[in-house]
Amino acid sequence: MARRRVGLWLLGARGGVATTAIVGWAAMKKKLTPPVGLVSELPQFSNLDFFNWGDLTIGGHDIRKTTLIEEAEKLRDQSRAIDGGLIRSVRTELRKIDERIRPGVLFNVGSTIRSFATKSLQKKEESPRQSIRRVQRDLRAFVKNERLDQVIVLNVASTEPQVKGSIPAKWDDFESLLEDGGSCPLPASSLYAIASLELGMPFVNFTPSLGSAPAAIDELARRNNTCHMGHDGKTGETLLKSALAPIFANRHLNIMSWVGHNIFGNMDGKVLDDPRNKKTKVVSKDRLLGEILGYDPQTHISIEYIESLGDWKTAWDHVHFQGFLGTPMALQFTWQGCDSILAAPLVLDLVRFTDLARRRGETGLLTFLASFFKSPLGTTQNNFVKQFQMLEDWAAATGD
């Protein structure tokens, strides 16, 4: 029997997360690195029929003029995040994928992201529908050129500004919006989502951008018998919050304030330095506390671009809580994580789990993937251990 060929189409394909995922995928294919950091490689998922790394082909969209090798070397030199020897041994793979990366979409991405784009992209004039058609042409060519059985589209592009204006709840009211750039509130991430779901390709949003979150886009996914999930990969501070907050809830300790300061210096940080883009992120990070605790303590979340840190996202959290007899106490933590290194394996995991769900005929939101996201769509479960139980339960029901 011929092996299935799966395609991963990355939006933001030359960004830090995508570059690290690509280097890591190539290294694992060659058995140069162990699968540390991959959820799909845990023993409890060993009975699942995942594709092998050798059966995956990668392409994508990006808006910048750079190369995967250049970006990988930046992660080596500025952040000591990726080993130089590893990069050298996968250069050929990086070059091959670079050739498959196509110019992306700049619609409603805000002036900061736009400023990073190539001149020719900045000049391009398209209606939203025209952008969608262009993306679909790229996706179809990917399928055809690489003879793929399945493509999963996954967004790791920079965070877009918050969407203003109301978004129709029904797909039928969307169509007209897409014809006119002037009145369409949707950002690029949603256009990509529409493009892929219309083709029946699953869409996964690893960023806090809007993507497939609108109900009408979920409707589109179901109409096309395909699936999607988001949003905002949970890799660091919020991951800790979703594990620590249940302690306070279950011990009946009253959280008076939870302050979180995040500093980092990668491209993501540069984009989030724009207050409009930052707002999208902060809303996503701040949601879960109230949902776990059942009340809203004072919170403060800051995200600051500190160039010297490169890809190292350092977070300091100060949790001030009241115990028995009103006594105030404190928990502080410092998280020093390499952003791309934490995110990249989850990207590869999500492709595997989504591919499997697609083969099983699941449609609409894949809520069993909640543990991967800061703001999982379709569920209010934010307790990490319980989210992970959802994944294990799905696997138990799915495996054979």
Interface with a copy of itself in residues 217-256 (CB under 8 A): 239-240, 243-244, 246-247, 250-254, 256
Overall size of the chain counted in residues = 400
List the interface residues with a copy of itself, window 130-169 (CB under 8 A).
none
Does 51 interact with a copy of itself (rule: CB under 8 A)?
A: no
Q: Let me know if 370 is exposed, middle or buried by CB neighbors in 10 A (0-12, 13-18, 19+).
A: buried
User: What number of chain residues touch a copy of itself (CB under 8 A)?
Assistant: 75
The nearest distance, CB 58 to a copy of itself, in angstroms, is 16
Burial bucket for residue 57 (CB in 10 Å: 0-12, 13-18, 19+): buried
Contact 168, 25 (CB under 8 A): no
Cα–Cα distances in Å, from 354 out to 10, 251, 286, 350? Answer: 14, 36, 27, 6
Q: Which of 3, 140, 147, 300 binds a copy of itself (CB under 8 A)?
A: 300
Among 385, 393, 396, 399, binds a copy of itself (CB under 8 A): 385
Give the residue, chosen from 141, 169, 330, 396, that forms a contact with a copy of itself under the rule CB under 8 A: 330
Stretch that binds a copy of itself, among 92-100, 138-146, 172-180, 321-329 (CB under 8 A): 321-329
* Contacts (CB under 8 A) with a copy of itself, residues 75-134: 80-86
Calpha distance 326→121 (Å, rounded) = 59
Contact pattern from residue 258 through residue 277 relative to a copy of itself, giving x for each residue in contact according to CB under 8 A and a dash for the rest: -x-x-x--------------
Give the full edge-to-edge strand order of the sheet including 6-11. Answer: 101-103, 56-62, 6-11, 150-155, 203-205, 227-229, 364-365
| String of contacts with a copy of itself for each residue 351-380, x by CB under 8 A | --------------------x---------
Stretch 171-210 residues interacting with a copy of itself (CB under 8 A): none
* Interface with a copy of itself, residue 333, by CB under 8 A: yes
Smallest Cα–Cα separation from 9: which of 65, 64, 57? Answer: 57
